[in-house]
Structure 1
Amino acid sequence: MSAPTENTTSAASAPVDLGDPGFHIDPYARYEELRARGRLVPASLPIPGEPDVLLVTHYEDAREMLADKRMLNDPSPLSPGGDDGQNLRLQAMKAAGVPREYARYMVDASILDMDAPDHTRIRKLVSRAFTVKRVNALRPRVEEITGALLDALPDRAEDGVVDLIEHFAYPLPITVICELVGVPDEERNAWRDWGRRLFTSDQGVRGEALIGIADQAKALIAERRSAPAEDLMTALIRTHDEDGDRLSDDELVSLVLTLILAGHETTAHLIGNGTLALLTHPEQLRLLRTEPGIGPRAVHELMRWCGPIHGTRMRYASEDLEINGLRFAKGQACMALLGSANADPAEFPDPRRLDLAREPAGRRESHMGFGHGAHYCLGAALARQEGEVAFTRLFDRYPGLSLAVPPSELRRERIPLSWRLAELPVRLG
């Protein structure tokens, strides 16, 4: 039986302010309110003019919407005259002071904002680096990097306290992805700094970071072109140079910066959020310690329960259409609210109960922490592996690990639809 039809006009009420501090104090309480308010809820974005978008708040609706090819990541076909005004991401870039010639790397040429056939073409070029077989082959190196970082933690401690975000959660994934892509050791701190500056609420800082990241990517490509190596960047450069129709100049730059940024930011905050969740749920931590085989399922549950990404990139209706009984007008901007979908009791009984055994063994994840559909996270297998290694090795190495401050005193970074710890001070025990 099809779902009842709900018009977008039925959701026409005061838009939700996504910059409301309540989303960073207790986002899941807010998501519960939004689900009760409707399946489609209007929201305003922190962009000049505050254009409204529709939030898809329920699990089944979000899954159907993300899988529907009529929903576009790139709205440019809806503006035949080339007007950038309909593209909310370009508006955000402009508000941050990013010149149009730089914004193209983050929007026009970005695999994250493409639709088929361009999205399919570029995804095929890089997907071989993230197959399960290739990711499994990386595990010994991930274990090695993790062990070295954990061994160094006591030297990082001040008065017995160490910031796990700064000295473990970030260095692990940035080291792994930089080695995979081919970023030299001496340049990795710069990429980490650019990435952290990009994910702030300060528009000016974000704009400077975007420009810096693009320049870094271009310089890195030039360096690797003159000194090829056995890495992903060299393979992408070879694809560009030998068959330019398969990868444009802008796409090459965009791919490099996207792979590096997306390859460490989300994983770093999955490790941070997941560690906090385990420290505040000792019965679940005991389960992780006593059931070694539960590691993969535990990572899935932590990604569902406290994943760092709570909203997808914008989607635009290519025509007047209906999805799962919901109606969208042509050009309507909408977003799947992943944080709400992953806490939807219609899909996850008692959703705010952390249960590391919740995900059935051997089943592809039911949560949408890594998205869904054609834009499902390309590096999900690597992120899951890094999370599994990080959690198991961390608590094996430091069984007495404990929070250095009450959970209520921990600071969250105030970025809309992002759930990120600013720091995680712990005692190693």
Structure 2
Amino acid sequence: MEASSAWRDVPRQRIQRFAGRALEEVPRLAQDILAAIRREYPSLVFIDDDSGEPKALVAIRHALEQFVQQMTRGSDRPSALPEMFRDFGRGEVAHGRSLDSLQGIYRLGVRLSWRRMAEIGREAEIPSLAMYELAEYAFEYLDVMVAQSVRGYAEAIARQAGERLRLQRLLIDLLLSEHRSDRSAFLADRAADVGWQLPERVAVAVLLRPTVEAVAPAVGDEVLLDMEGERPRLVVPEPDAPGRAELLHRAVTGWSGAIGPSVPVAEAAASLRWAETAVRMIEQGVLPRGRLLHSAEHVEALVLLPAGELVDDLARRRLARLDESGGPAHAQRLAETLLAWLETRGGAPEVAERLGVHPQTVRYRLRQLRELWGDDLDDPDRRFELELVLRLRRLRGDIAPAPG
């Protein structure tokens, strides 16, 4: 209250009389307020303290006593209230409620309290202007109660969110770990701990942070997200569900990464392996950055490049005859023609169109290839091996892709 307020001008004797009478009323007033709250909010459950009294009744009584004591001292602003008002905020979180009902309870309590205070003020001959100031102080006091509860509510929400994140990371680790036994029941229990329904199929994505401070993708509660590691991981339930892919791509706009194939939930680790392989290739510059790649769309690179040493050994044996063809440039042209022929299995016109050269040129090269490999070109196994090693060379950039 201001130093020049009407309340401060009230003789001290009257204020003491008012305060004494108000404190006498506190026990009965607290009971009346609690009874009104029970009528107004019949579904609320009131917990008793160690002495057997409802905690709410104790809090109402303390709040009333502290209000009277603070206004008697002439405090300019209501000071902090007991810790129990934070507990009420925390309790709303525990019961899954918002603060709306709690604030309504506080307003109800202040309204009933003020009616009684106004009666006592008339008995103690407190001037009207002073009582108006006291009413303003009462509503400031209400703000303090609400602020205490909001703080407790926020603390509980933060703890709850932190605990859910911890349990969610544990669930992700369990899903993505290799295991031999059937852990469906165990996984279902852990999923229930975070309110996640265990799906039949999942796909796992691995992301590359665009910046250190990048905000987590807004993927929604259905997708499990672990942002703790250097490479964030996502577990996407039922990835083939209508609209799921579109929503996921929209959520990770601006991020690079890869998503593994859709697999049964018990095989999530396999999806993770393919996603991690693709991400390594993104980092190496083999696959493009700037979007979420689907591993299934890059099977050739994912299968051939990691097996490079094996395919290189096969290439040395199967492509050695190219060294007999006349020089590096000519060998390169023959390799491109052989791959185009293997992929099209067409005649000279089809291969020529694919390579962007004259059909006569292709006929000449095909004759040379037949001279080099002979009947091997008619053997399905040999043709497969040749195509395999030539495709790897193209992935590496040793063979130019066909025009267009």
TM-score (norm 1): 0.17
Bigger fraction of residues in helix: 2
Q: Give 1 or 2 for the bigger CA radius of gyration.
A: 2
Query: Which one has more relative contact order, counting CA pairs under 8 Å at least 6 apart?
Result: 1
